[in-house]
Chain A
Amino acid sequence: MKLLLILCVFLTGCSTVVPVTQKFPEAPNALLLQCDNLKMLPDTATLSEVARTVAQNYQSYHECSLKHSMWIEWYQKQEIIFKGFK
């Protein structure tokens, strides 16, 4: 029993933890915003209102598509850095 206790005391010298961790970075706020909903037409829409609404909806699509592409690029690059560290 005494020998076991002495052995346990000796073995406590062997355990240690290296307190260094890397956190995965936070995404930029611009990438976390939801995409806008598409605009609807009023019942009595004129030709110019239709053209204007379609142009604005295409703009919304381009903005959303840009966010999506940038999100993919940001994530892939951060993943390479994070995995490279390990």
Chain B
Amino acid sequence: MFWIFKVTADWIWLLVPLLGCAVFVSSWFFKPYAGILKPLGTAIVVAGFYVLGMLYSDNAWKQAAKDLQAQVQIAEAKSATVTEVVKNTITTKTQIIKERGKDVVTYVDREVVKYDNSCTIPKEFVTAHNRAAEPQK
């Protein structure tokens, strides 16, 4: 029902109650038709005010929608900022973790490897480690 407000200018609907008043007043000058003009004029005035009420309501809802849309845009921008910060933090910290891991492996390859021949790892040690490291099913 509100589609009509999209295709017409708002000021046109102000003329409807005025038209109703004009029809009502004309009943004073065209007395033979007073029986038709008075109720017709009254009906047009009532309908005109009702349509103006609809127009006011439509405009109020449009404004509310506009305000909400603005709030949504602000919230979406904040959301995007949070996501960007988290992405950057993950990238930076993952890089640090990987570098530390490489440093440890370099140290192992340099220092621990000297004891490979003098230290035998029992099979039971390997089994215990692998059982703990196995993915849970």
Residues of A within 8 A of B (CB): 10, 12-14, 16, 18-22, 25, 27-28, 30-31, 37-43, 45-48, 50-59, 62-63, 66-67, 70, 73-74, 77-78, 81-82, 84-85
Contacts and interface: CB of A to CB of B under 8 A. Distances in A.
Q: Which 6 A-B pairs have the closest CB atoms?
A: A59-B101, A38-B133, A20-B68, A55-B104, A48-B113, A46-B116
A41 B126 contact: yes
A78 B84 CA distance: 12
Given A20-B72, A66-B93, A77-B82, A48 B130 contact: no
Given A41-B133, A74-B82, A78-B79, 4 more contacts: A16-B61, A28-B87, A46-B116, A82-B75
Counting chain A CB atoms within 10 Å of each CB, the highest count among B64, B116, B134 belongs to: B116
A58 B126 CA distance: 17
B97 A39 contact: no
B129 interface: yes
A50 B90 contact: no
Q: Which applies to chain A's interface (DSSP): helix, strand, loop or mixed?
A: helix
Interface in B40-63: 50, 53-54, 57-58, 61
Contacts of B125: 50
B86 A28 contact: yes
Contacts of A48: 108-109, 112-113, 115-116
Contact of A85 (B71, B109, B123, B130): B71
Given A55-B104, A82-B75, A85-B71, A25 B83 contact: yes
Interface of B: 1-2, 50, 53-54, 57-58, 61, 64-65, 68-69, 71-72, 75-76, 78-80, 82-83, 86-87, 89-91, 93-94, 97-98, 100-101, 104-105, 108-109, 112-113, 115-116, 119, 121, 123, 125-126, 129-130, 133-135
Given A22-B75, A45-B126, A50 B86 contact: no
